[in-house]
Structures are given as C-alpha cells and as structure tokens.
C-alpha cells in the first residue's frame, strides 16, 4: 500500500505542477483587471478597458482560468502518464481519448434513462415534490463536461480514467496480436483496450454515481459541521503524512473533488476547495472569498512563513559556538525557502530524524493554525505552497475585504515566538542533537557540499540493490522515490547517511524514499540515464 500510494502521490504531482503558473496568471490577471481596484488607485488610464495592459492581463487571467476549468482532463492525462512504467506518451493520449469517451457514454446512458438538462433541474425536482434543499442536491449530481451533458464526477473521473489507463498500459504495452492483426500489437493496443474500458466505466457510472455523489455530499456536510475541530485534524494529519510523502495522495481529493465542498460560483457548481477559490478569483462579482473553500490550505501560511523560520533560528541559537557559522548558512537557506515558497522539507528534515518529538509538536501547531485561521474566516488562496509569493498574490493584492489576510500578519509574530521558544526549550531540556550540537554524528550537508563531493552514481545504484533490483526511479522536490524488487537488498541507514550523505531513508513494502534535498532530481536523472 505504501508503494502504491507513493506512486500515486508522485503521479498527482504531474498535473498539479501546472497549477502554480496557471494560478499566478489568474491571480495577477484578475487582480490588475479588477474594476474596483483600478478605480480605487486611479489607474484607469493604465489598466482600464481598452488599454494594452488590460488586454495582456485579461488574457493571462483567461489562460489561468481555462487550466482550472479543465482539471479533470488534465488529471486523467497526467496520472496515466505518471503511473505508466512504459510508453508514457501512449498512456497520456489514451487517457485523453478515454476521458472524452467516458463522458460521451455517460451522456448517452443518461438520455436512455430519461435524464436530460430539463429533467435534472432544480425546478423540475421541486415540481416532483422535493423541497428546495433536496432538489438542489439532486440537481447537483448532473452537469456538463467538455460541453457534454454528464454527471458531476469532476476530477475524480479524471483520476479514475488515469489509473485505469495506466494499469492497462503497464499490462498490454507489449501485447502480441495474431499475425492478421499484428498492426494493433504492442503500444497500438493500449488506446483500443482503454476506450473499451472507458466505455464500460461510462455505462456503469450513471447508475452508481448519483448515490456516491450524495454520499460524498453528506460526508462533506458532516465534515463541515465539525468546524475548527475537523480542520485541525486535517492540518495535523496532512503534516504527519508529509513524513512519508503520502500527503500528495490525499490533499488533491480535498482541493479538487467534492470532498472539499461544493459551491455555486458565477452560475456554475464548482467542486473542491482550490477550484472554488480560483473560480471566485476569476469572477469579478466576488465580494469575499469563501473560507469554507480555503480551509484546506490557508492554515499553512502561519507555520510556513513564520513558524518554521523561527524554529530554524532556535536551532541556530542552541548550536555550539564553533558550529554556528556553518549551521547559520544551512538554516538560513532553509528558512528563506520556507518563507518565500512554502517548501518546508529542508527545515523539517534537519530535525525530523534527530528529534522526531519536535516534528510531532510542529504537526500539532500546524493543526492549530488551520483551525484558528478558519475560525477567523481567513480565505487566502494558494497555488501549491504557502510562502510570501502566494500570500502577496492571493492575499495582499486581493485586499483584506475579500480575504481577511490581516489575521495572518497579526498572528505571524505570536506564531514565530511560540515556535522559537518551544523548539529552544525542548532542544535544551532533552538535549536533542539538532544541527551543530555536540555529537559529531550529527552532520551538516548543504546542497553545495553534496554537489562538491561529485557523488558516484554507481554507489547509489549499488545501495539500491543494483540495476536489476530497480523497478521505477523518480523524485519529488526533496526525495528520491524508488520502487525495488527486493527491499532487503537496499543498503542500511548507516550507509545512506554516511558515505552517501542522505538526510534520511524510509522503507515500506517495495517502496524506498531517500531524502536528498535539491539533489534528488539530479540523482533520479543520472540513475535513469545509466540503468
């Protein structure tokens, strides 16, 4: 299960990788074409309708909006190509075709069942005796995808197609056909079998999805009723899952599917927390962003911008005097990364392995941050991280009236103080061997140090059990993610942390994650070149 979730999380990152640039375009374009903002600052001459900048910025907003409007298709293609071990291009193309076929078949089956846009409207269900709430829930089951009448399965439909097509690609990419049909052998068989599978899925979904949709809606309502408590546990467990890199397989379900809530924006129903935020961002009539939509990510701003940089400063303060210069460079770089981009692993992995209790405290404080900002109705959006860049675009530039961003700044200093004194006190009390404290076994390696070593890639391959032991080699921002045939052949932790200078190693099933920071992507590419 660990191996499968690791691969699924890695595949999720492929479509998610396009969201930062799409979010930036939508954020900048929407902010600087907002009529109220233009009038308030007297910029009609520069940014008003008809000006050159207006055309450029409105086009940027349209580009970002179209990406978020087609996430189901993007997820189908991205996940299929990400999970396919061979013929990734064929998997992506097959997924695109299969996604369209699935929704076409769904539409046909719905018409056979007598479900049309007219017979699935709120007014129709009210005329059949339902109250307004029940009618709205029932009508929300149905909608459009790529212009086709279908059910509102959204990104989940893309995920299903992506996983199924990847499975079929891995199984049939080398399929041999009889000589008369040999043209359809191998990779050419993949789109054929994928379309057939998508047709079957499309034929079944209209009978199953209405019940699943209503069930998810009920669960989302229940989760919503838990209020700050539910949001606390979400933030807490997401941070714990980050240790194993498994959060990538969970949070997209809240960001992009109905698990993250549903809301009508500009006349259309939008599912998923991040989708809701960006739909509101693109709607010029939005007066205030919904904290219900942003509750699954806004809470991260406090620990990422203020908490962890303060924790880094605490670790610097308690380091031995002789090591402070070296420690300072390492921790400053990690703190700046967290503050600017919201990427926290460079800091977290400096104390996770030597003082896991500190990580538990960090997860607890992050859960509290999620709950508090939700209670204060703060609604600042995010692309993929929660650093000052996203805060500026989706908080400051949108205005406090829309986002209530001021609370992040107000609570930032108390958050930093709490992290600083909690970390400093616990490190000293329990003598945790954080970077630069006494024990020479605690080593410091910056990216520069590791690259300067000119690491022998063959040593890394040998530590993974040799070429014949490798099934799949990939990487995220900080981790080398490898699937092996026999995990017992993988070198022990001492070897990885010693001559191979890894910051940590995780093993589960046939999945291995080696923490290398920024070097992970380089190692992945080097291994795949020679394996």
Residue 119 phi, psi dihedral angles, 5° rounding:
-90, 5
Residue 26 near residue 64, CB atoms below 8 Å: yes
Q: Residue 249's pLDDT is what?
A: 67
What are the residues facing 270 on neighbouring strands?
Answer: 263
pTM: 0.72
Q: Residue 88's pLDDT is what?
A: 93
pLDDT digits (tens, 9 = 90+) for 288-340: 999 999 999 999 999 999 999 999 999 999 999 888 888 888 889 889 988 98
Torsion from C-alpha of 201, 203, 208, 214, nearest 10 degrees: 90
**Residue found by looking up tokens 């049939």 in the block:** 172
Q: Which of 305, 296, 250, 251 is nearest to 277 (CA)?
A: 296
Cα distance between residue 228 and residue 43, in whole Å: 40
Q: Residue 531's pLDDT is what?
A: 77
Helix locations, 307-405, DSSP H: 308-318, 324-341, 345-351, 356-375, 388-391, 400-403
Please state the CATH superfamily assignment of the domain spanning residues 447-530 in this structure.
Glucose permease domain IIB (3.30.1360.60)
Cα distance between residue 65 and residue 385, in whole Å: 19
> How many alpha carbons fall within 13 Å on the CB side of residue 530?
14
Q: Residue 481's pLDDT is what?
A: 87
DSSP single-letter state for residue 303: I
Cα distance between residue 349 and residue 391, in whole Å: 24
**Residue found by looking up tokens 């805060």 in the block:** 391
Residue 272 phi, psi dihedral angles, 5° rounding:
95, 140
Q: How open is the CA angle 153-159-162, to the nearest 5 degrees? A: 130
Residue 382 near residue 298, CB atoms below 8 Å: yes
Q: Which residues of 437-469 are buried (b: 16+ CB within 10 A; e: fewer)?
A: beeeebeebbeeebeeeebeeeebbbbbbeeeb
What are the residues facing 151 on neighbouring strands?
Answer: 142
pLDDT below 70 — which residues of the chain?
1-3, 5-6, 36, 40, 244-246, 249, 384, 438-455, 477, 518
Cα distance between residue 232 and residue 300, in whole Å: 11
Q: Residue 454's pLDDT is what?
A: 53
Q: Active-site positions?
A: 476
Domain ranges of the chain: 85-225, 298-430, 447-530
Cα separation of the two ends of the chain: 26
Residue 152 near residue 142, CB atoms below 8 Å: yes
3-state class (DSSP) for residue 355? coil
Q: Residue 239's pLDDT is what?
A: 92
């Amino acid at each position: 299960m660990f191996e499968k979730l690791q691969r699924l999380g890695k595949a999720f990152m492929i479509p998610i990788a396009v969201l930062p640039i799409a979010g930036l375009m939508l954020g900048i374009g929407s902010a600087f074409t907002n009529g109220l903002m233009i009038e308030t600052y007297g910029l009609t001459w520069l940014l008003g309708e008809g000006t050159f900048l207006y055309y450029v910025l409105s086009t940027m907003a349209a580009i970002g909006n179209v990406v978020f409007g087609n996430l189901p298709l993007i997820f189908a293609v991205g996940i299929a190509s990400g999970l396919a071990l061979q013929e990734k291009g064929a998997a992506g193309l097959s997924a695109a075709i299969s996604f369209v076929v699935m929704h076409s078949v769904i539409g046909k089956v719905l018409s056979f069942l007598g479900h049309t846009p007219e017979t699935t409207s709120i007014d129709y269900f009210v005329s059949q005796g339902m109250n307004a709430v029940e009618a709205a829930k029932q009508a929300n089951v149905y909608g459009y995808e790529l212009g086709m009448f279908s059910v509102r399965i959204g990104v989940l439909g893309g995920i299903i197609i992506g996983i199924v097509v990847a499975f079929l690609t891995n199984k049939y990419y080398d399929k041999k056909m009889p000589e008369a049909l040999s043209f359809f052998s191998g990779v050419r068989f993949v789109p054929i079998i994928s379309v057939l599978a998508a047709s079957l899925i499309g034929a079944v979904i209209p009978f199953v999805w209405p019940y699943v949709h209503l069930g998810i809606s009920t669960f989302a309502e229940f989760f919503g009723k838990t209020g700050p408590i539910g949001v606390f546990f979400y933030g807490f467990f997401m941070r714990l899952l980050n240790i194993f890199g498994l959060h990538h397989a969970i949070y997209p379900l809240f960001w992009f599917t109905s698990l993250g809530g549903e809301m009508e924006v500009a006349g259309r129903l939008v599912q998923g927390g991040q989708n809701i935020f960006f739909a509101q961002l693109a709607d010029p009539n939005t007066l205030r962003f919904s904290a219900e939509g942003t509750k699954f990510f806004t809470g991260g701003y406090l620990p990422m911008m203020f908490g962890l940089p303060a924790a880094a400063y605490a670790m610097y303060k308690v380091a031995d005097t002789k090591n402070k210069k070296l420690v300072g460079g390492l921790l400053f770089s990690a703190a700046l990364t967290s503050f600017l981009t919201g990427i926290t692993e460079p800091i977290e992995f400096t104390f996770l392995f030597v003082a896991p209790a500190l990580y538990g405290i960090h997860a607890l404080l992050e859960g509290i941050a999620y709950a508090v900002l939700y209670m204060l109705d703060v609604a600042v959006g995010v692309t993929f991280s929660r650093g000052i860049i996203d805060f500026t675009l989706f908080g400051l530039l949108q205005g406090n009236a829309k986002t209530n961003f001021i609370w992040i700044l107000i609570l930032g200093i108390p958050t930093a103080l709490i992290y600083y004194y909690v970390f400093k006190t616990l490190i000293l009390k329990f003598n945790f061997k954080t970077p630069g404290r006494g024990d020479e076994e605690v080593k410091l390696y910056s990216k520069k140090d590791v690259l300067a070593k000119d690491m022998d890639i063959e040593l890394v391959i040998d530590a993974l059990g040799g070429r014949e032991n490798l099934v799949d080699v990939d990487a995220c921002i900080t981790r080398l993610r490898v699937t092996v045939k026999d995990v017992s052949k993988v070198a022990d932790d001492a070897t990885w942390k010693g001559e191979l200078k890894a910051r940590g190693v995780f093993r589960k099933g046939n999945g291995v994650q080696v923490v290398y920071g920024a070097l992970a992507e380089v190692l992945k590419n080097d291994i795949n070149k020679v394996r």
